[in-house]
Amino acid sequence: MKKGDRRRLERLFDGRATLEEELALERDAVDDGQLAAGLARVRALLAACEALPQPAHERLDVEALVAEVRAGLEHGVAQTNEALMETGAVTAPGPSAWRPRLAWSSLAAAFVAGIALWALAGERVLTERAPVSPAVEHPAERHVLGPAEAVEAGPSHEPIADRTANAEMRETGSTPGGRTAWALPGIALPSAPVDGARREAALVVLADVLTRAEVLLTFDVRAPGDAAGFAARADAAFVAQVEGLWPLASLAEALLVHADPDVAARAARYVAARRDALTAGRLARALERELATASAARQVVRLAAASALAELGAFDALARSFDDLCEAGILGEAGALGEVRDLEALLAAWHAAGREELGPELARALSRGWRPRSDTALVHLGALGRPGADVLARLALEGTPRSPSALTETRRGLRAGEPSGDSLTLLAASPFGASAVEDLVRAERNPSGARLERSCALIDATGSLGALDWLTALARKGETRAQLSLARLPGVEPVATLVELDAEGLVRDDRVWSELVSVDAGRVVDRVREAANVAPGDAERLVACLIGSGGDAAAPVLATAAGEPRLGTRTRERAALALAQLAPSRIGVTETQTLCLELEAALGDAWRGHEDSLVAALVVASDTWLGAESLTRALQRLGALRAERVVRAAAHGSGADSALARQARVERTLDTSRVVAKEPSSVDRGRRGNRGT
C-alpha cells in the first residue's frame, strides 16, 4: 500500500477525511486490492467502534454523584496533587485549596479548644469555689473575700494566701477547706508575707483572672458582652485563688496603668463593670494619667477607659477629657488602632444614656478627625438625635460616607435626627446633600407641624429641585410652609407651580409671593417673559399676585410686566402703578438701573401706542423711578395735547389703583404736565417751582 494511501485511510479512520476524499478512496480501491483491503478494515473497525457500548448517561445519577463528591471532599478523600502534576494539569506543586482550609480549621479548632480548656481551668473554680462573703455576691462592694476565715478591714494589710495553702492548692488541686481548685499556672505567690510582694502577687493573680474571665466570656454565647458576668467571673476566680479580704477595685485601678495595655484595658473594663460610686472617678483619673502619656500603645487603655466611662454614663468626666482624647487620637485616630468597635460601643453607650446635651462636644470631637469605617458607627450617630445628625452632616460634607450602604445609613440618621440650621447648611453643601434631602423629605409622606417645618427647612437649605413634587403635593393641600419652600426653590418651575396653585385658590398667604421674589426675582422675570409668549394669562396672574404682595423685591418683575407688550394693557398699567408705589431706595443700585432702563424703554414704546391710561401709568412710575427731569423730557416728546390727555388720564386714574400715595404723585405730575401743556419751554422752571412749594 502506498504511503499516501495509508494517510488517507488514517484520515478516514480518525474522521478527518471529507466525503469527497472517501469517495476518491472508494474509486481508487476498485483498482487497488491492498487499498481495498485496508479500506475494508478501517470501515470494519469504525463499525465496531460505533457498535461499542455507549455511555449509559441515563444510568448516571448526577445528584448522587454530587453528594458523593461533596462527601469525598468533606472526608478528605482528595488525593494528593501528584496525579495532577503528572497530567500536566498543574505546573507547580501546591496544596489543595480545600484541604488547607480543613487543616487550618482543625488547627484553629485545636487552638480554640486549648484556650477554652485553659480558661476552663479557672472556670472550674467558679463551680466549686470557696464560699465567699456577701461582698462577692454583691459586686457593688469593693472588697472581695478570699476563702480565708478571717475577714479584715484594711485594704492591703490582709495576709494573702500563705505559702502552705497555695502550695497545697497547686499541688493537690484542693483548697485548704477541701474543695477542689485548679492551680493557676505560672503564678508564684510570695512565700513571705511582705506587703509589697503580696500586693504584686495579687495583681498578677488579678491580671490573670481578668484574662480568664474575658476569654470565658468570649466563648460564652449566652452573654458574650455581659459586663456584669465578666466582673462576677473575675471576682469568683480571684476569691478561689487568693485568701483574705482584698480591695479588688483598688487592685484593678492599679492595673489600669499596667505595662501591658491589654491587661490595663481589661482592668478598665472590670472597674467599669463593678459600678461602685468611685468607679467613674477611678476611671477618670486613670484616663487623665493615660492621656498624659504619649505612648501609642497606651491608646488601648485610654480607649478602654473612655469606653468604660461611657458605659458608666460618666459623660461629664468624659466630656472634660474630650480635647485630650482628640489630641491623644482616641477620637481622632481610633480607626488606625482598629478599635472602631470600641468607639462604636462608646457611641452606643452615649446614645443609650440619652445625654444629648453633650452631643455637640461629641460632634465636635468626631468631626474633627474621626472617620467611621463601618456603617455601625453611622447607625449610632444617627441614633444620637440632633448631635448625631450634626456629625453626620459634617461627615457628609467631607464626603466620608462613600459606599451606598454608608450613604443610606447617613440619610437614615439625618432623617431620624434633627440637624441644626448650621448642619443643614453644611448638608446643603455636601456632595450628596440634595439627594439626601430628597430622600429625607420623601420619607415624610404626610408631615405636619415640626416635621413639615424641618423637612421644608432641609429643602430650603439644599434648594433641591428633586423635592419639587413632594412640596407641590403638600402645597396643594394648602400647607403654607410647603408653599413657602416651593417659593424658595430655584428655577422657573416652582414659579409656574405656584401660579397654578393660585389659580386653584390654594395660595392664601401673601408671604409666598414676597418670598418668591425675595429669593430670586430674576427667575420670576424670566417666567413672566416666558409665559407672556405662550400663556399670557399665567403671566398676568403672576403679576397680579405680585402687585401689592410682592414688596419692593417685586420691582424688576413689575417693570418687566409694565413694558411687556404681549401682556394686556390693564395688567401693564397696574404693574406700572404698583411700581410707582415702591421705593427705589430699598432696591439695590444695579436692580434700579436695570429697572430704569426697562421703564424708559417701556415709556418710549408706550408713546407710540394709543393707550393713554397705560402711558399715564408709566408716567407715574417714571416720576418715581426716573426722576422729574427724565419725566419732563418724556412728556415734552408727547406734544402738548397728548401730554395733557395722558396727564388727565393719570389724574383720573384708570381704576386700577387709587392708593393715596399714587394719587399724590399723580397730582404732582398733573401740575407738571399743565406747565408742559401751556409752557413747554418752561417745564423745568415749573417743576422746580413745584418742588420748591
Partner 1 sequence: MARLLTRMDEASALERLVVLARGGERAAGDALVRAFAGEVYGVLFRIVGNHEDAEDLAQEVFVRALSALDLYRGDGPFGGWLLRIAVHVGRDHLRRRGRAPVLLGLTGIAAGDGRPEPGAALEHGELTAHLAAALERLPAPLRAALALRVLEGREYDEVAAALGVRPATARTQVMRARRLLERLLAPWLGARHGRDTR
Q: Which residues would be at the binding site for partner 1 (CB under 8 A)? A: 1, 10, 13-15, 33-34, 36-38, 40-42, 44-49, 51-53, 55-57, 59-60, 62, 65-66, 68-70, 72-73, 77-79, 81, 83-84, 86-92, 94-99, 101
Residue 52 or 660: which CB sits closer to partner 1? Answer: 52
In angstroms, the CA 678 to CA 663 distance is 22
Q: By CB neighbour count within 10 A (0-12 exposed, 13-18 middle, 19+ buried), where does 681 fall? A: exposed
Query: Shortest Cβ distance from residue 219 to partner 1 (Å)?
Result: 25
In angstroms, the CA 591 to CA 569 distance is 24
Query: Shortest Cβ distance from residue 231 to partner 1 (Å)?
Result: 40
Residue 74 or 195: which CB sits closer to partner 1? Answer: 74
Residue 23 or 77: which CB sits closer to partner 1? Answer: 77
Which residues have a Cβ under 8 Å from the Cβ of 603 and sit 6 or more positions away? 615, 618, 619, 622, 634
Which neighbouring-strand residues pair with 246?
144
Query: Shortest Cβ distance from residue 21 to partner 1 (Å)?
Result: 16
Place of cell 408713546: 607
Query: Shortest Cβ distance from residue 528 to partner 1 (Å)?
Result: 56
Query: Shortest Cβ distance from residue 25 to partner 1 (Å)?
Result: 14
Residue 19 or 641: which CB sits closer to partner 1? Answer: 19
Residue 27 or 566: which CB sits closer to partner 1? Answer: 27
What angle do helix axes 3-13 and 33-51 make, rounded to 10 degrees?
20
Compute the C-alpha angle 266/268/273, nearest 5°: 95
Query: Shortest Cβ distance from residue 97 to partner 1 (Å)?
Result: 4
Contact 85, 70 (CB under 8 A): no
Residue 57 or 222: which CB sits closer to partner 1? Answer: 57
Neighbours of 525 (CB within 10 A): 22
Q: Which grid cell sits at 228? A: 456584669
Query: Shortest Cβ distance from residue 102 to partner 1 (Å)?
Result: 10
Residue 564, Ramachandran bin (φ over 0: left; ψ between -120 and 50: alpha; else beta): beta
Residue type, 359: G
Q: By CB neighbour count within 10 A (0-12 exposed, 13-18 middle, 19+ buried), where does 474 fall? A: buried
Cα 659 versus chain centre, distance: 55
Residue 78 or 132: which CB sits closer to partner 1? Answer: 78
Residue 41 or 637: which CB sits closer to partner 1? Answer: 41
Contact 409, 401 (CB under 8 A): yes
Query: Shortest Cβ distance from residue 375 to partner 1 (Å)?
Result: 24
Query: Shortest Cβ distance from residue 56 to partner 1 (Å)?
Result: 5
Residue 92 or 589: which CB sits closer to partner 1? Answer: 92
Residue 69 or 292: which CB sits closer to partner 1? Answer: 69
Contact 434, 411 (CB under 8 A): no
Residue 100 or 565: which CB sits closer to partner 1? Answer: 100
Query: Shortest Cβ distance from residue 103 to partner 1 (Å)?
Result: 12
Q: Which grid cell sits at 157? A: 494589710
Neighbours of 43 (CB within 10 A): 14
Largest separation between any pair of C-alpha atoms in the chain: 144
The DSSP output letter for 566 is T
Query: Shortest Cβ distance from residue 338 to partner 1 (Å)?
Result: 25
Residue 77 or 223: which CB sits closer to partner 1? Answer: 77
Contact 395, 367 (CB under 8 A): yes
Residue 79 or 682: which CB sits closer to partner 1? Answer: 79
Query: Shortest Cβ distance from residue 104 to partner 1 (Å)?
Result: 12
In angstroms, the CA 674 to CA 648 distance is 10
Residue type, 642: R
In angstroms, the CA 290 to CA 57 distance is 74
Neighbours of 362 (CB within 10 A): 27
In angstroms, the CA 106 to CA 100 distance is 9
In angstroms, the CA 100 to CA 188 distance is 40
Q: Which grid cell sits at 611? A: 393707550
DSSP letters along 239-285, please?
Answer: HHH--SEEEHHHHHHHHTT-SSHHHHHHHHHHHHHH--TTHHHHHHH
Phi, psi of 323 (to 5 degrees): -60, -45
Query: Shortest Cβ distance from residue 68 to partner 1 (Å)?
Result: 5
Residue 84 or 203: which CB sits closer to partner 1? Answer: 84
Query: Shortest Cβ distance from residue 406 to partner 1 (Å)?
Result: 25
Query: Shortest Cβ distance from residue 48 to partner 1 (Å)?
Result: 4
Query: Shortest Cβ distance from residue 63 to partner 1 (Å)?
Result: 8
Residue 45 or 292: which CB sits closer to partner 1? Answer: 45
Place of cell 394719587: 663
DSSP letters along 95-149, please?
Answer: --SSHHHHHHHHHHHHHHHHHHHHHHHHHHHHHSPPP--HHHHSTTSSEEE-S-S
Residue 66 or 194: which CB sits closer to partner 1? Answer: 66
What Rg value do the Cα atoms of the chain yield, rounded? 46
Contact 516, 483 (CB under 8 A): no
Place of cell 415702591: 582
Helix, strand, coil shares of the chain as percentages rounded to 5? 70, 0, 25
Query: Shortest Cβ distance from residue 52 to partner 1 (Å)?
Result: 6
Residue 68 or 316: which CB sits closer to partner 1? Answer: 68
H-type alpha helices, 354-385: 359-369, 375-383
